[in-house]
Structure 1
Amino acid sequence: MSRILIVEDEAVIRGALRRLLERHDHQIGEADSVAAAQALDPQRFDLVISDLRLPGEEGTAMIARAAPVPVLIMTSYASMRSAVEALKLGAVDYIAKPFDHEELLATVSRVLEQHAASMPPSMAEHETSAPSEMIGECAAMQVVYERIRKSAPKDVTVLIHGESGTGKELVARSLHRQSKRARAPLICVNCAAIPETLIESELFGHEKGAFTGASAARTGLVEAADGGTLFLDEIGELPLDAQARLLRVLQEGEIRKIGSVETRHVNVRLIAATHRDLHSLSRNGEFRLDLYYRLNVMQIDLPPLREREDDILLIADKLLENACRRHDREGLKLSRAARREIRDSLWPGNVRELENALERGVILAEGHLIHADDLGIAVPPRRRDTGALNFDTADRPPNAAENSLAEDEEDLSLEDYFQHFVLEHQEQMSETELAQKLGISRKCLWERRQRLGIPRKKSARSRAS
């Protein structure tokens, strides 16, 4: 049983957090200020969870008061700046309020494991089983686990390759957790989610007045990861100018803020991920070949879910358990037809798509069983003996196959409309405007671009260069 100290001045939040953690077998201490926490001797605990904004001293004061006990910072502002500052001061991680229960529990579990691993071991053993964050026992995943085990402590640059939704960030977190940098920050950045015009400022920082709107100096995410690990997801979307700056970080260990003439030394381990063929992109001039060689010291290839047939139901059961807990529907089970459809589907969106289908099933299910129709799987299942696509009409009404075909045609027409709209308007609209017109988020817009092979338009700055 782990001992956790909660430092939060709002009694309602403090009580809710205590009840959540106690349900998962943690022993809880409570305080409403840094001074009250100090009186409880924070070194007696295994973890401190502290709000950033507290009466009197800020929550970041707990970092020094509780050391070497890790401190997890909560912030209602959810701003990258406050989170980065907390990480620079030594916080082990941060979580934004209102927090998702599963995300909080996963973060707490990971931090406690990291802290336990950093303590003097009772026996010297290598980890041979799957990392705690990952699920799967198939041969392809055993290769992944072995690569993680061997690469993590060596402090080398790692390139993770895999389709969207295969769990690239989980691999990065596992590499960091098992590395010598486990107690330092892990900074995760999705390169495709940041506008081209802001990516260099976000990564490398800027000085006050460096460009219009730069009203104050800002620390970049590379510098925030100093001493720890920087995870760059979808690195294939990084503009060429930012690639050149990143190459200097890898070669010289130096960064220079935008608008500054001074360089700063940083000690950062880089883990990159992509679903694209970076070597092919380098031949087309879209990715620097020298950066590719620097990144590809160790490569970990994640298999898509359709190639992990033995793991699919194992993963589904775990995701279903998590979804049931989130929606207070414990005890729900998958029907035999639903399990068969999950096992036989192609899952182009991989684990993320499976998780969404199960979430939908938990919400729509009536009674104690989730049926195949509740999952809303749009992709036709595969025939396991030939690999050909087919519609398994067992356990379905007589016209279910015809209805499914009609739904596929409707989906295709919607995708055609999306593709036509984006190609027609992307020269006049920003990514934000396109997303608003389509009624989707920027992240969803980017994911659909990837699925349909529609490249993001180049900014005027990129075309000029």
Structure 2
Amino acid sequence: MPHILIVEDETIIRSALRRLLERNQYEVSEAGSVQEAQERFSIPGFDLIVSDLRLPGAPGTELIKLGQGVPVLIMTSYASLRSAVDSMKMGAVDYIAKPFDHDEMLQAVARILRDRQALDSTAATPALAPNRAADKGGDNRNGEIGIIGSCEPMQALYSKIRKVAPTDSNVLVQGESGTGKELVARALHNLSRRAKAPLISVNCAAIPESLIESELFGHEKGAFTGASASRAGLIEAADGGTLFLDEIGELPLEAQARLLRVLQEGEIRRVGSVQSQKVDVRLIAATHRDLKTLAKTGQFREDLFYRLHVIALKLPALRERGADVSEIAQVFLARQCQRQGREGLRFAADAEQAIRLYSWPGNVRELENAIERAVILCEGNSICAELLGIDIELDDLEDDDGGFMGMPGSSSNSHEPTEDLSLEDYFQHFVLEHQDHMTETELARKLGISRKCLWERRQRLGIPRRKTSSTAP
């Protein structure tokens, strides 16, 4: 079980964070200052340190040196984000702005511990830990890309990432929420010449509209009420590195105009300043919205859209990735078992089937949350479909020879090979081949889904029901 040290002088925040982490199966120790942490604990013995930046006595950044390689996650308020970026340059692994929500903190902690474990295992057994994904021809699991999946659309994406990363071109990453757009941004940064410089990630939807310009571009003293001192913005902090603007479609029009100047002229002007300064920043933007449509309706600047759209990378939804969903599920299961201290857990047949057949509207994020829930609630060694907590009709799940899509034997009368088809391809192939002599109920049963699910997939894939002369329903 990972052991985490919390260093925070505010008792309420410290206690709440401790309860949150302990509920998620982490061992937690706490201290109110750097000095107290030194006196009570052997700091290098922890797996992760979560520390406030401003503490009585020494600042939280002192723990970077005292930890001797232990990753340090810095907590800070929006008013001191610039200092948090400075702490990353000093060696902090990441920062998180207060107030943060529980999911944001848990995701950051899990990611940092996962990255550290991967580095430790690689360093400990380099000859015994070959990159299995690389053996498949797609260096996509623990290699330089760092994304799980080997389906054809993802292989095409990996190829584009490798081509685009060494350049300084702006990149627009498109995809539904939960598909992993920030992972693509990290891969682009890590494979670029800017890899040793900061990657500054900003969620445009998470910063209040009244603060967004100040946070991005900085401000001068007296620029507005409360601006008691001059402060650099996050774009300035990313100078020499990469700026990742997530959910850029939520950026206000005024901020869009200022961002356009950064892209056109390579310079910024702080709020309240009359002087500009040069910056060398590569911009990676991400959105789940259709920016072209927003531009046509005046909700997004058209000139900014074309500046961003130099290179567009499209992340496929999880339902479009075929067998990747099972591979990702197994990785998440192993990860959650380790985190929760469970051994020998496996998916039951109906759970495997549900994972393959469910459309996963929340994509990879929803899949990970469902598996975390199942591991926590599972009382035996087998996870059934019900524990996943997903909206799928369990009564329609079957486990016979023709039970579900994409499995050998589910279309025994077909004369065309189907083993290389994605689940969506197979669905379309099966329905078109059999709908002349099978009712909707029979089609749904053979595919292992409900009639409602069959209808929804027809609509999504544009497969109309075949008209017949029969008046039977």
| TM-score bracket, shorter-length normalisation | 0.5 to 0.7
Aligned residue among 139, 144, 162 for 1:129: 139
Question: In the TM superposition, what is the alpha-carbon distance from 1:55 to its structure 2 partner?
Answer: 8.1
Residue by residue, what CA displacement relative to the aligned partner does 1:131-176 show, whole Å, maximum 9, x if unpaired?
6331001010001111111111212211101111110011011111
Contact kept, 8 Å, 1:92 with 1:185, in 2: the verdict is no
Q: Match for 2:93: what amino acid?
A: D
Distance in 2, Cα, partners of 1:224 & 1:112: 29
Is residue 367 of structure 1 aligned with residue 380 of structure 2?
yes
Partner of 1:286: 299
| Cα separation, partners in 2 of 1:71 and 1:306, compared to 1, 3 Å | same
Distance in 2, Cα, partners of 1:267 & 1:295: 16
Is residue 327 of structure 1 aligned with residue 340 of structure 2?
yes
Distance in 2, Cα, partners of 1:191 & 1:50: 24
Distance in 1, Cα, partners of 2:108 & 2:210: 31
Partner of 1:93: 93
Question: In the TM superposition, what is the alpha-carbon distance from 1:211 to its structure 2 partner?
Answer: 2.2
Is residue 74 of structure 1 aligned with residue 73 of structure 2?
yes
Distance in 2, Cα, partners of 1:54 & 1:240: 38
| Cα separation, partners in 2 of 1:144 and 1:219, compared to 1, 3 Å | same
Q: Match for 1:340: what amino acid?
A: Q
SS at match of 1:143: helix
Partner of 2:178: 165
Q: Which runs of 5+ in 2 are unaligned?
A: 10-17, 19-33, 39-43, 123-133, 398-403, 406-422, 432-439, 454-473
**TM, length-normalised to structure 1:** 0.65
Partner of 1:437: none
Distance in 2, Cα, partners of 1:237 & 1:198: 13
Distance in 1, Cα, partners of 2:263 & 2:257: 10
Contact kept, 8 Å, 1:95 with 1:104, in 2: the verdict is no
Q: Counterparts of 1:295-310 in structure 2 under 5 Å?
A: 295-310=308-323
Distance in 2, Cα, partners of 1:106 & 1:332: 22
Question: In the TM superposition, what is the alpha-carbon distance from 1:353 to its structure 2 partner?
Answer: 1.2
SS at match of 2:165: helix
Q: Match for 2:111: what amino acid?
A: A
Distance in 1, Cα, partners of 2:206 & 2:50: 29
Q: Match for 2:82: what amino acid?
A: V
Q: Match for 1:130: what amino acid?
A: N
Distance in 1, Cα, partners of 2:154 & 2:162: 12
Contact kept, 8 Å, 2:48 with 2:113, in 1: the verdict is no
Contact kept, 8 Å, 1:324 with 1:362, in 2: the verdict is yes
Partner of 2:223: 210
Q: Match for 1:177: what amino acid?
A: N
Question: In the TM superposition, what is the alpha-carbon distance from 1:62 to its structure 2 partner?
Answer: 7.9
Q: Counterparts of 1:51-450 in structure 2 under 5 Å?
A: 52=53, 58=59, 60=61, 72-75=71-74, 77-82=75-80, 84-88=82-86, 90=89, 91=91, 93-95=93-95, 103-104=108-109, 106-107=111-112, 110=115, 129-130=139-140, 132=142, 133-379=146-392, 386=427
**TM, length-normalised to structure 2:** 0.64
SS at match of 1:149: helix
Distance in 2, Cα, partners of 1:154 & 1:271: 12
Distance in 1, Cα, partners of 2:375 & 2:255: 43
Q: Match for 1:333: what amino acid?
A: R
Q: Which runs of 5+ in 1 are unaligned?
A: 1-5, 11-15, 17-31, 37-41, 118-126, 406-465
Q: Match for 1:351: what amino acid?
A: V
Q: Match for 2:73: what amino acid?
A: M
Deviates more, 1:371-380 or 1:166-175: 371-380
SS at match of 1:129: coil
| Cα separation, partners in 2 of 1:159 and 1:92, compared to 1, 3 Å | farther
Residue by residue, what CA displacement relative to the aligned partner does 1:287-337 show, whole Å, maximum 9, x if unpaired?
112111111111111111111111010000111222222322232211010
SS at match of 1:340: helix
Distance in 2, Cα, partners of 1:141 & 1:214: 46
Distance in 2, Cα, partners of 1:53 & 1:199: 23
Residue by residue, what CA displacement relative to the aligned partner does 1:74-115 show, whole Å, maximum 9, x if unpaired?
33x443455531423523532459996874463366589999
Q: Which structure has the bigger radius of gyration?
A: 2
Distance in 2, Cα, partners of 1:81 & 1:164: 28
Contact kept, 8 Å, 2:326 with 2:356, in 1: the verdict is yes
Distance in 2, Cα, partners of 1:170 & 1:361: 25
Contact kept, 8 Å, 2:261 with 2:268, in 1: the verdict is yes
Residue by residue, what CA displacement relative to the aligned partner does 1:379-407 show, whole Å, maximum 9, x if unpaired?
5699665458989789x9xxx989x99xx
Distance in 2, Cα, partners of 1:281 & 1:377: 32
